[in-house]
Structure 1
Amino acid sequence: MAFELSVNIEYMFQEAGERLEDRIAAAAAAGYRKVEMFFTSGRDVPSLAKALADHGVQMMSLLADPRTQLFNKETHGTFRDLFRQAAEDAVTLGCPNVVVGSGPGVPFMKRAVQLAHVAEAVAGIVPIAEELGVTAILEAVNTRVDHPGVLFSQTIDAVTVINAVQSQRVRLLYDLYHSIVEGEDPAEQLAQHASLIEHIQIADAPGRGQPGVGAQDWPALLGLIRQSGYTGVIGVECYPTLASTPDALAYIRDLAAAA
């Protein structure tokens, strides 16, 4: 069974212009029926919803603001408001997943205490997720290259919070690029946390280019994903190294179709 790919239109199809609506059209013209984005703040959500409907494309994920310092309990009320807005926009866009990050950590508080505080914050958004029918997917991102200082730097950080909250509305976004850059073994992570994974994202490493331009063995990695039992969509979140996004994604698209 092949893997379907979704494409992040913040990074890809930039050749179509600045408007995400035009990038949605370009993705559809290239044969992609799933897309992802970051923030909806400051964007015309109804216009995006119309573009998705017009071109038969589904939005797979968008972000709640990941910069909120969730270790700090004073931010939890604001976080709930931010999550609700993102979740309401997700509903408008027909998007099932809202990505949640931890925000930065601090060196003066024990890690276990910080994660416990994050778990309290995430537990507080469960009623919103249930009300609106979306899933909060928690993502760990690397601190070595892209996100210095973030609290969720290892997959186990997000998993610890998910296990503490114990809700089917709180699941794991496993990003192979971030995991590899942090020095994790994807085979171990996929085997250990398969039951919690709601969505998977990929890019090559080093460099975060499209799969096929870095050092990773993509036939082997797709095999690991398949062996884990994951059958969902795989999100490509990379910086294309070619001017044409379809050309840049040709290798991984062919590989995923044959997986």
Structure 2
Amino acid sequence: MFQQAERQFRNLSILFTELPLLERPAAAAAAGFTAVELWWPWTDAPVPEKRQLDGLRAALRTAGTQLVGLNFYAGQLPGPDRGALSIPGEESERFRANLDVAADFAQSLGCTALNALYGNRVDGIDPATQDALALENLTLAARAAHRIGATLLIEALNAPESPHCPIVSAPQAIEVVEAVNAATGLDNARFLLDLYHLAMNGEDLEQAIDRYTPLTGHVQIADSPGRGAPGTGTLPLEALLDRLHTNGYDGWTGLEYQPGDRPSTDAFTWLPRPHRAAH
């Protein structure tokens, strides 16, 4: 299965979490993957110490794993997805402080996709105020990404699991993508199409693929229900990925699923080893 999915990679922030961060790249390589992505690893440190950045960079390089996606600082992840860029006050400032740090780290590893998570709605603050702040910060993020030749990714989460996030549909995410591109003139903002989140929102996945493939810069998958590996739920993931490729998508496909109650090394039996490597 998944014969057209040669550009698969693993998310080291949701898989192999039973291992310390610096051991995860080697574990991914041992499982046959040559490309990985990460949420911002230091949830309390938008500007970590140099030794922490150097340590992770060295671990990725030593393992021979290419970093293909990185989140900007987004607050406490894992947990209830909340982001930071649209939250006034300290969280917004932490997001801004992280922009060049994350971009420089990504550039040092040849990573060209940076994901910026919208923040949750905050009680007592006008949503329009949060949206204006979000656009301002996403404009800064797009410019930071542009400086290193990267794409800025905008992701839709899902309402059941992130009920306070305002971006919980493909059309909402696309609206933000277009607003950022209009504000900057750089045309480097793109949609992060996560099939699990869209399925949890009850969207027509084939229609979303047909409509939004041209603006899609990154794809992530997990089966639904359960956010497990392909085959643990009911999504026709192979057919959906084939549809993406037919529509012209030739980018990466990220495995952002939970291994369940088994070791992460046992969570890849559905994917033949030759299709785990980057080409």
Q: TM-score range by the shorter chain?
A: 0.7 to 0.9
Amino acid across the alignment from 2:120: P
> Could you tell me how far apart the structure 2 residues matched to 1:36 and 1:75 are?
23
What pairs with 1:1-259 in structure 2 (closer than 5 Å)? 2-3=4-5, 4-15=7-18, 17-18=19-20, 20-41=21-42, 44-66=52-74, 67-68=83-84, 70=86, 72=88, 78-105=94-121, 115=131, 117-145=133-161, 147-166=162-181, 167-241=186-260, 243-253=262-272
Contact 1:118 1:161 (8 Å CA) reproduced:
no
CA 1:164–1:248 in 2, change beyond 3 Å: closer, same or farther? Answer: same
Q: Alpha-carbon deviation of 1:160?
A: 0.7
Q: Alpha-carbon deviation of 1:141?
A: 0.5
Query: How many aligned positions are there?
Result: 254
Unaligned segments of structure 2, at least 5 residues: 75-82
Among all aligned residue pairs of Structure 1 and Structure 2, give the percentage whose two residues are the same amino acid: 31
State the secondary structure of the residue aligned to 2:270: helix
> Could you tell me how far apart the structure 2 residues matched to 1:60 and 1:92 are?
12
TM-score, length basis structure 2: 0.80
Contact 2:15 2:259 (8 Å CA) reproduced:
yes
Report the aligned-residue RMSD: 2.7
Amino acid across the alignment from 2:225: P
Contact 1:46 1:92 (8 Å CA) reproduced:
no
Unaligned segments of structure 1, at least 5 residues: none
CA 1:71–1:9 in 2, change beyond 3 Å: closer, same or farther? Answer: closer
> Could you tell me how far apart the structure 2 residues matched to 1:119 and 1:254 are?
41
CA 1:246–1:76 in 2, change beyond 3 Å: closer, same or farther? Answer: closer
Q: Alpha-carbon deviation of 1:212?
A: 0.8
Contact 2:153 2:191 (8 Å CA) reproduced:
yes
Comparing both structures, which one devotes a greater share of its residues to helix?
1
Contact 1:40 1:86 (8 Å CA) reproduced:
no
> Could you tell me how far apart the structure 2 residues matched to 1:234 and 1:98 are?
15
State the secondary structure of the residue aligned to 1:137: strand
CA 1:78–1:54 in 2, change beyond 3 Å: closer, same or farther? Answer: closer
TM-score, length basis structure 1: 0.86
Using the TM superposition, name which of 68-77 and 237-246 deviates more. Answer: 68-77
CA 1:53–1:252 in 2, change beyond 3 Å: closer, same or farther? Answer: same
Q: Alpha-carbon deviation of 1:207?
A: 0.7
